[in-house]
Amino acid sequence: MDLFEHQARELFERYGVLVPEAEVAETGSAAREAAVKLDADRRGVVVKAQVKTGGRGKAGGVKLASGAAAAEITARQILGMDIKGHTVHKVMLAQPVEVDQEYYVSFVLDRAQGQFIAIASAEGGMEIEEVAEARPEAVARVPVDPAEGVTAEKAAEIVEAAGLPAGAGPVLRKLWQILRSEDALLVEVNPLVRTVGGEIVALDGKVTLDDNARFRQARWGEPDEGADSGSLEALASAKGLNYVKLDGEVGVIGNGAGLVMSTLDVVAGCGAKPANFLDIGGGASAQVMADGLSVVLGDPSVKSILVNVFGGITACDAVADGIIRALGRIRLTKPLVVRLDGNNAVRGREILQANPHPLLEQRTTMDGAARRAAELATSAAAIA
Q: Annotated active-site positions, please?
A: 104, 188
- For residues 274 and 248, the answer to whether their CB atoms sit within 8 Å is yes
Strand partners, 362: 338
The span from the CA of 49 to the CA of 55, in Å, is 11
Strand partners, 276: 245
- For residues 161 and 119, the answer to whether their CB atoms sit within 8 Å is no
The span from the CA of 68 to the CA of 125, in Å, is 26
The span from the CA of 211 to the CA of 160, in Å, is 33
DSSP state of 220: G
The span from the CA of 340 to the CA of 83, in Å, is 35
Residue 200: phi, psi to the nearest 5?
-100, 115
Residue 202: phi, psi to the nearest 5?
-90, 110
Strand partners, 53: none
What DSSP element (H or E) covers 361?
A: strand 360-362
β-bridge pairing 45-49 and 91-94? antiparallel
